[in-house]
Structure 1
Amino acid sequence: MALGGGIFLTQNKVLPGTYHNFISSTRAFVNLSDRGYVGLPIALDWGVDGEVFAVTQEDLQKDSRKIFGYEYTDSKLKGIRDVFKNAITVYLYKLAVDAEAATNNFATAKYKGARGNDITIIIQANVDEPSKFDVKTLLANVLVDEQIAVSTAADLIANDFVVFKTNATLAVTAGTPLAGGSNGLAITGGVHQEALDALEAYGFNTLGCLSSESSIKSLYVEYTKRIRDQVGGKFQLVGHKLGSTDHEGIIDVQNDANGTDEEVFGAVYWATGAQAGVLINRSNTNKKYSGEFTLDMSETKTQSQLSTLLKSGKYVFHRVGDDICVLEDVNTFTSFTVDKNEDFSMNQVIRVLDQLAIDTAQLFNTRYLGQVPNDQDGRISLWNDIGSHRMEMQRIRAIQNYNKDELTITQGNSKKAVMVNEIVNPTVAMSQLYITTTVE
């Protein structure tokens, strides 16, 4: 006889048998989201076209030639190396207008850009089977692919650098370079907007603005304000001499890069990675600059200069002995009010608040949204999870003096709404010391 079995919601089964529910014991939500994620629209000589692509520290070290077209140590990757001094994952979008892929009679570069012109195809007769060919792909005279004893171009397999033309006629050549590769026209605000639109689907801690053009910098500033204030995305923009922005989501690097052939905004690379990678219970105040760009110190030499810049909300590098360090981990917010005081100018405070927002949204969206009834039991469960998360934040000293009893969760104005009220006190690192010494 077939017996009943399976799980039950209510005790309404008809057949005899065993009905067994397996459930997890109640476990509080204490997950903290990782940091170290960067969004970076960037001009490149090589790389994926027209879409966001993610690169990790390990990817950069192992596959930099395949991803960016250059060895890890090449000067062309100086800025990218600086980002990864502290970042874990970077979401890149290659900026290009009417770029072209290099080509010759046998192959076309896998990606558009000037680096494709450094690819050469060598075709030799196979030693063992002279009627067949050995086909080599070289990038800057370095062998990156070799296919042995192929009969026709149709037998060739695309590699990380070229797509072979299947209808080509193979013929022995000591080396036929690809040509016609181009980075295209001057980069405009339109392609930056395309990059920002594409990045909107990704979560990251900082967004880097790699431009010295006022209109493009303004685009990034307004984009950041809109996403933070209207959409709810929690990241900070890092740019160079952005003007009067007055916003807690914007970090304005003051120092120029002035080394040979360096972009004036070169410090943005390092700062973007450093701000993304710092832990929520840490500050970048007095952090030593470890980037490769040469920074101009002429505007940050005297105490008067530093005070003026700091009061203006500028992110400043200054010299401390033989080192260059971050003066204070601040953003551009300066219009303090009773409701929004000077605490909001501290990036460590903003990181804590952003972490609270990101983690609470993840908790609600994955565990409660559309799943848990909006009754007293459901709200108590949410109260426990939010409170446990805050206590974990307090354990790692990101916040202090948190009182779970002051966390209230009630039904909102509609039956599906939940209203949460709490008080949080972010912890910040020491940066000033006042001493009174009494001598007797």
Structure 2
Amino acid sequence: MALGGGTWQFQNKILPGTYINFVSKYRAEAAIADRGYATMAMEMDWGPENTVFAVTNEDFQNDSMKLFGYDYASDKLKPLRDLFEHARLVYFYRLSNNAVKASNTMGTAKYPGVRGNDITTEVVANVDDETKFDVNTYITVDGVTTVVDKQKLLSKWNEVEDNDYVAWATHDDTALKAAAGVPMTGGSNGSEITSMQYQNYLDVISPYYFNTIGYAGTDNVIRNLFINFTKRMRDETGSKFQCVVYDAEQADHEGIISIANKVMDKGESPASLVWWVVGAEASCAINASLTNANYDGEYTVDTKYSQLDLQRAIQTGRFIFHNVQETLSGELVGATKVLTDINTFTSFTKSKNSDFSHNQVIRVLDQLAIDTANLFNKTYLGKEQNDDEGRKALWGDMVYLRKEYQRVRAIQNYKAEDTEIPTQGTEKTAVLCSEEIQPTCCMEKLYINTIVA
């Protein structure tokens, strides 16, 4: 007979033997969530419609043609280049309203939209084996027909594979026959985009984790839709992200960033700076600020503001770019820079002061809320007993996390006692805790008293 063994919870074993529990020595953990996640909805000539798809910075640089239908340097992708100057990953959503796929006798474009009309397909005899065929797919790039897919030495249509641009009309054992290049036609972006398509996007994107969302348009109804969505998600569901819009008046909320400047480029939306700000704010670290950051995008920014205009912009919660003015000549010179990294919150009170207008403070508070929630949900929710021992363990992890924030100088003057040891709430499953933290801000103003002896 084998001796008893295994783990134990109560000392009630019957068989003789050795019962051992192996447990980890308590070690505080602090996982800080990555930043750099953004989301944008946009009208496109190509790509999956009415669905969220993730694109990394690397994806955009390497695969822009198959993702968005245009090469990286295309003017069509100028907004995305601004966005990815800083964004790490973007959840895109292609707004679509009855878009149509282009097609020809050989197949159909993979995605609906006018870009499909630039696709041409052909079947040609293989140069090395005239009994076989090559099936080629072309797309127009800067006016030049460019091959994007080449499948060689084929005999039948069931040997031809769909590619990133074309779904072939047949996959049966029909023999291939030579066919000169046939352009696809009939592709359309569909009807005009309305607020309904934007509402669908907001409904779909709400469960995702992102740091910023933006609306790069001027329609007041849609802009207010984004503003109200952000306020509701932050205040009612606890989602911690900021929304970037153009020229929003009286938003008065720490979650809303309103850009004052318009772009001057012909044919571009005046709200195009939203793309850059969405990416820059998403990727800005909790121990950093965009104050005095260089605008390194591609748009021409209207910075014709007086000192009084700049002061008013700050007082009314406007995120504004400016140029340094040469003292003697008065000429605008140098790089275009962010004046100060603020949001639209201006209705300061005793319980919610001007600190909340600084985006760096909001980043710290938002990130701390996210990281604390992740800590609790991963390690304690439904797993740890709500007693003194369990709550002290939670307190230890919370303190360790905050000390990590202090280590990277996101907060300052923090001591363990600033976070109270949690107590049981009004319900047996509830945990109650109070704390005090002091977010750190970057320097913006220098005041000097110079005594001349």
Q: Which range, TM-score by smaller chain?
A: over 0.9
C-alpha contact 1:208 1:239 (8 A) present in aligned 2: yes
Q: In the alignment, what sits opposite 1:439?
A: 452
Residues 143-222 of structure 1 correspond to what in structure 2 (within 5 A)? 143-166=147-170, 170-222=176-228
1:243 has 2:249 as partner: yes
1:296 counterpart (292, 295, 302)? 302
Residues 49-128 of structure 1 correspond to what in structure 2 (within 5 A)? 49-128=49-128
How many Å apart are 1:125 and its aligned residue?
Answer: 2.1
How many Å apart are 1:363 and its aligned residue?
Answer: 0.6
- The farther-off stretch of 14-23 and 24-33 is 14-23
C-alpha contact 2:418 2:437 (8 A) present in aligned 1: no
> Once the two structures are superposed, what CA deviation does each residue of 1:96-125 show, in whole Å capped at 9, x if it has no partner?
111111111111111111111111101112
Following the alignment from structure 2 to structure 1, what is the Cα–Cα distance between the partners of residues 43 and 227? Answer: 19
Q: In the alignment, what sits opposite 2:329?
A: none
The amino acid across from 2:153 in the alignment is A
How many Å apart are 1:435 and its aligned residue?
Answer: 1.2
1:430 has 2:443 as partner: yes
Q: Which runs of 5+ in 1 are unaligned?
A: none
- The farther-off stretch of 312-321 and 5-14 is 5-14
Give me the CA root mean square deviation: 1.5
Sort the Cα spacing of 1:73 and 1:4 in 2 relative to 1 into closer, same or farther, 3 A: farther
TM-score (norm 1): 0.96
Following the alignment from structure 1 to structure 2, what is the Cα–Cα distance between the partners of residues 118 and 28? Answer: 57
Following the alignment from structure 1 to structure 2, what is the Cα–Cα distance between the partners of residues 16 and 111? Answer: 69
1:37 has 2:37 as partner: yes
C-alpha contact 2:30 2:375 (8 A) present in aligned 1: no
C-alpha contact 1:109 1:161 (8 A) present in aligned 2: yes
How many Å apart are 1:3 and its aligned residue?
Answer: 4.0
> Once the two structures are superposed, what CA deviation does each residue of 1:285-305 show, in whole Å capped at 9, x if it has no partner?
00000011111123xx21011
Q: Name the SS of the counterpart of 1:53 in structure 2.
A: strand
Following the alignment from structure 1 to structure 2, what is the Cα–Cα distance between the partners of residues 415 and 61? Answer: 52
Following the alignment from structure 2 to structure 1, what is the Cα–Cα distance between the partners of residues 317 and 148? Answer: 48
> Once the two structures are superposed, what CA deviation does each residue of 1:300-319 show, in whole Å capped at 9, x if it has no partner?
x2101101111110000001
C-alpha contact 1:47 1:112 (8 A) present in aligned 2: yes
C-alpha contact 1:154 1:165 (8 A) present in aligned 2: no
The amino acid across from 1:331 in the alignment is N
1:404 has 2:408 as partner: no
1:357 counterpart (348, 369, 375)? 369
Aligned residue-pair number = 438
Q: In the alignment, what sits opposite 2:327?
A: none
C-alpha contact 2:216 2:273 (8 A) present in aligned 1: no
- The farther-off stretch of 353-362 and 62-71 is 62-71
C-alpha contact 1:240 1:254 (8 A) present in aligned 2: yes
The amino acid across from 1:19 in the alignment is Y
Following the alignment from structure 1 to structure 2, what is the Cα–Cα distance between the partners of residues 25 and 370? Answer: 20
- The farther-off stretch of 21-30 and 236-245 is 21-30
Q: In the alignment, what sits opposite 2:310?
A: 306
Following the alignment from structure 1 to structure 2, what is the Cα–Cα distance between the partners of residues 274 and 262? Answer: 20
Q: Name the SS of the counterpart of 1:439 in structure 2.
A: coil
1:417 has 2:430 as partner: yes
Following the alignment from structure 1 to structure 2, what is the Cα–Cα distance between the partners of residues 198 and 372? Answer: 33
C-alpha contact 2:119 2:137 (8 A) present in aligned 1: yes
Following the alignment from structure 2 to structure 1, what is the Cα–Cα distance between the partners of residues 402 and 220? Answer: 41
1:261 counterpart (253, 267, 270)? 267
Q: In the alignment, what sits opposite 2:381?
A: 369
Following the alignment from structure 1 to structure 2, what is the Cα–Cα distance between the partners of residues 388 and 127? Answer: 68
The amino acid across from 1:373 in the alignment is Q
Q: Name the SS of the counterpart of 1:322 in structure 2.
A: strand
How many Å apart are 1:16 and its aligned residue?
Answer: 4.0
The amino acid across from 1:245 in the alignment is A
C-alpha contact 1:156 1:166 (8 A) present in aligned 2: no
